[in-house]
């Protein structure tokens, strides 16, 4: 089975991506980009510059995409390949983009297949620089980059600081990781006018309620559903703030991620932001209760004896307590994870918490609920019949939720 992030889904599935590879050592990572995109069921055409072929063979790309990798501007495969490529593509990504490529692209050079295709296309272009950190900091490289940044449809992705091939690397220069590049391509493919520039707040994960300095009350939430929503919202063009309890998941690229521990901390973080949010999506599994007193020292068996009694008190209900601070006209989505009477309980929470939508899932259902990669949900909104969705990946559920939010936002325009 494909790993969770590579289950075919929007916005990649069935879309055409042109991957340009230029001559830097990070070219080996471009093979993984091509493979991930192919597993997401995008159709990937790869164009290698002459420099790229010094690092990685066209055959490696053919092997993972199942399509011929392209290298020649002048070939017998048919005239004006660059024009056809440029026209028939939904997004272009250049990874790695070397300093030489940035200079050539900034000038609009057209003496190889990649350069000509970039001039011929009207598709969005994602540029992923990769080079030595001193080279990247050079004013000429920065000037070239700024020219590309200013070009409509161009997005610069990375680089980051981190280990470089030559070992050193204080400043940025390292190319983004393949899965992050795939997300940037997802944003180029998925951008939607209605979401563009909107501020979307997402809560995710469990909360931890301290018992003593080393122990806590918690729950089995992994954060997957909320993280999937945050990624999907960013891909649609939103500015996303993710407030998450402790999760083992990597923070999504492009998203402003804030980690909190307890429900109280999550409440404070949400309170600060919610007034500016056009959409708020409460996917966190917030602990409803916390120990009344968190011990300053680790509880020890010698002092507690065989039985420990806790006083438990209620946590703030974040959705309710912050409801009066919501931005007027904003859209709010909640989740309900239930073990019985799914729809009735979800409907009650929809009303009580003044959500525009609630996503109900059955904690006991197969492939549904906490710590699994899939979900079977029903979506409820005031005054409509519940919509029962089939079992699907959490990424696909996130898209379904945002479709409905998008329709609501468009109808309010
Ligand atoms: O835990 P419960 O099923 O009541 O959660 C329903 C919704 O309320 C979820 O969207 C959850 O994120 C939110 N919630 C909250 N603060 C709490 C408990 C739940 O915002 N203390």
We report the CATH number of the domain holding residue 315 as: 3.40.50.10300
Q: What is the mean pLDDT of residues 34-39?
A: 98
Q: What is the mean pLDDT of residues 139-155?
A: 98
Does residue 320 sit in the same domain as residue 344? Answer: yes
- Domain that residue 261 falls in: 199-412
* Domain annotation covers residue 8: no
Q: Is the pLDDT of residue 362 over 50?
A: yes
Q: Which atom of ligand 1 is nearest to the CA of 283?
A: 12
Q: How far is the CA of 335 from the centre of ligand 1 (A)?
A: 7
pLDDT above 90 as % of the chain: 83
Query: Does ligand 1 lie within 6 Å of residue 157's CB atom?
Result: no
Does residue 181 sit in the same domain as residue 260? Answer: no
Q: Which residues contact 106 (CB under 8 A, 6 or more apart)?
A: 143, 144, 145, 147, 148
Q: Is the pLDDT of residue 145 over 80?
A: yes
Q: What is the mean pLDDT of residues 357-375?
A: 83
Tokens 């296309």 sit on residue:
121
Residue 78 banded pLDDT, cuts 50, 70, 90: low
pTM: 0.95
- Residue 45 vs residue 81, higher pLDDT: 45
Q: What is the mean pLDDT of residues 154-166?
A: 88
Does residue 169 sit in the same domain as residue 255? Answer: no
Query: Which backbone phi and psi does 38 adopt, to 5 degrees?
Result: -65, -40
pLDDT tens-place string over residues 388-408: 999 999 999 999 999 999 999
Q: How far apart are CA 221 and CA 371, in angstroms?
A: 6
Residue 76 banded pLDDT, cuts 50, 70, 90: low
Tokens 């998450």 sit on residue:
244
Does residue 99 sit in the same domain as residue 36? Answer: yes
Q: What is the mean pLDDT of residues 275-301?
A: 93
* Domain annotation covers residue 56: yes
Q: Is the pLDDT of residue 1 over 60?
A: no
In Å, what is the CA distance from 372 to each residue of 7, 117, 222, 246? 14, 42, 8, 17
From 53-62, 147-156, 294-303, 398-407, the region with the lowest mean pLDDT: 294-303
Q: Which atom of ligand 1 is nearest to the CA of 284?
A: 12
Total of domains in the chain: 2
Query: Does ligand 1 lie within 6 Å of residue 318's CB atom?
Result: yes
pLDDT above 70 as % of the chain: 96
Does residue 93 sit in the same domain as residue 49? Answer: yes
* Domain annotation covers residue 177: yes
Residue 301 banded pLDDT, cuts 50, 70, 90: confident
Does residue 172 sit in the same domain as residue 108? Answer: yes
Q: Is the pLDDT of residue 350 over 60?
A: yes
pLDDT value for 302: 82
* Domain annotation covers residue 368: yes
Q: What is the mean pLDDT of residues 331-344?
A: 94
Q: How far apart are CA 61 and CA 24, in angstroms?
A: 16
In Å, what is the CA distance from 2 to each residue of 178, 181, 190, 221? 16, 18, 22, 22
Q: Which atom of ligand 1 is nearest to the CA of 288?
A: 21
Q: Which atom of ligand 1 is nearest to the CA of 337?
A: 3
Does residue 185 sit in the same domain as residue 53? Answer: yes
Q: What is the mean pLDDT of residues 218-232?
A: 96
Residue 2 banded pLDDT, cuts 50, 70, 90: very low
Neighbours of 79 (CB within 10 A): 10
Q: Are residues 26 and 95 in contact, defined by beta-carbon separation less than 8 angstroms? A: yes
Q: Is 144 a catalytic residue?
A: no
Query: Does ligand 1 lie within 6 Å of residue 184's CB atom?
Result: no
Query: Does ligand 1 lie within 6 Å of residue 204's CB atom?
Result: no
Q: Is the pLDDT of residue 310 over 90?
A: no
Choosing from 219, 256, 361, 375, the catalytic residue is: 219
Does residue 31 sit in the same domain as residue 72? Answer: yes
Protein residue closest via CA to atom 19 of ligand 1: 286
Does residue 249 sit in the same domain as residue 372? Answer: yes
Q: How far is the CA of 332 from the centre of ligand 1 (A)?
A: 12
Tell which of 190, 209, 232 closes a domain.
190
Query: Does ligand 1 lie within 6 Å of residue 281's CB atom?
Result: no
Bridge partners, residue 361, by sequence? 337, 377
* Domain annotation covers residue 321: yes
Q: Is the pLDDT of residue 49 over 50?
A: yes
Q: Are residues 29 and 102 in contact, defined by beta-carbon separation less than 8 angstroms? A: no
Q: Is the pLDDT of residue 46 over 90?
A: yes
* Domain annotation covers residue 11: no
Q: How far apart are CA 49 and CA 299, in angstroms?
A: 64
* Domain annotation covers residue 4: no
Q: How far is the CA of 340 from the centre of ligand 1 (A)?
A: 16
**Beta 331-338 vs 312-314: how paired, if at all?**
unpaired
Q: Is the pLDDT of residue 316 over 50?
A: yes
Output the average pLDDT for the chain: 93
pLDDT value for 370: 73
**Beta 16-21 vs 43-48: how paired, if at all?**
parallel
Q: How far apart are CA 29 and CA 21, in angstroms?
A: 10
Neighbours of 350 (CB within 10 A): 20
Does residue 67 sit in the same domain as residue 130? Answer: yes
Does residue 266 sit in the same domain as residue 158? Answer: no
Q: What is the mean pLDDT of residues 306-321?
A: 92
Tell which of 162, 190, 218 closes a domain.
190
Q: What is the mean pLDDT of residues 212-227?
A: 94
Longest dimension (CA), the chain: 85
| Among the listed residues 203, 339, 215, 311, the one whose alpha carbon sits nearest the alpha carbon of residue 263 | 203
Residue 83 banded pLDDT, cuts 50, 70, 90: confident
* Domain annotation covers residue 2: no
Q: Is the pLDDT of residue 22 over 50?
A: yes
In Å, what is the CA distance from 392 to each residue of 6, 235, 398? 13, 19, 10
């Amino acid at each position: 089975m494909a790993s969770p992030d590579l289950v075919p889904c929007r916005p990649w599935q069935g879309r055409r991506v042109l991957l340009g590879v230029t001559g830097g050592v990070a070219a080996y990572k471009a093979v993984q980009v091509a493979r991930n995109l192919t597993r997401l069921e995008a159709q990937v055409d790869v164009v290698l510059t002459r420099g790229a072929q010094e690092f990685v063979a066209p055959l490696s790309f053919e092997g993972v995409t199942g399509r011929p990798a392209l290298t020649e501007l002048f070939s017998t495969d048919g005239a004006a390949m660059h024009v056809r490529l440029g026209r028939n593509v939904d997004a272009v990504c250049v990874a790695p983009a070397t300093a030489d490529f940035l200079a050539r692209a900034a000038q609009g050079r057209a003496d190889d297949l990649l350069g000509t295709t970039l001039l011929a296309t009207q598709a969005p272009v994602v540029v992923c620089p990769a080079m030595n950190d001193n080279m990247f900091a050079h004013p000429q490289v920065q000037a070239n980059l700024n020219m590309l940044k200013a070009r409509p449809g161009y997005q610069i992705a990375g680089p980051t600081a981190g280990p470089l091939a030559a070992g050193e690397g204080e400043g940025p220069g390292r190319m983004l990781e393949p899965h992050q590049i795939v997300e940037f391509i997802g944003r180029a493919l998925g951008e939607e006018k209605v979401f563009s520039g909107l501020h979307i707040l997402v809560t995710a994960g469990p909360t931890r309620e301290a018992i003593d300095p080393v122990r806590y009350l918690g729950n089995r939430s992994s954060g997957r559903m909320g993280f999937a929503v945050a990624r999907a919202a960013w891909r649609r063009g939103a500015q996303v703030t993710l407030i998450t309890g402790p999760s083992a998941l990597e923070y999504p690229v492009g998203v402003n991620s804030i980690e909190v521990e307890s429900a109280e901390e999550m409440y404070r973080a949400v309170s600060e932001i919610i007034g500016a949010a056009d959409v708020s999506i409460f996917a966190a599994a917030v602990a409803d209760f916390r120990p009344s007193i968190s011990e300053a020292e680790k509880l020890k068996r010698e002092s507690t004896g065989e039985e420990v009694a806790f006083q438990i008190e209620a946590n703030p209900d974040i959705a309710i307590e912050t409801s009066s601070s919501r931005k007027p006209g904003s859209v709010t989505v909640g989740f309900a994870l239930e073990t019985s009477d799914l729809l009735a309980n979800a409907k009650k929470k929809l009303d009580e918490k003044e959500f525009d939508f609630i996503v109900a899932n059955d904690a006991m259902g197969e492939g549904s609920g906490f710590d699994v990669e899939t979900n079977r949900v029903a979506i409820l909104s005031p005054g409509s019949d519940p919509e029962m969705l089939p079992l699907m990946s959490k990424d696909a559920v996130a898209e379904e939720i945002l479709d409905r939010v998008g329709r609501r936002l468009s109808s309010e325009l």
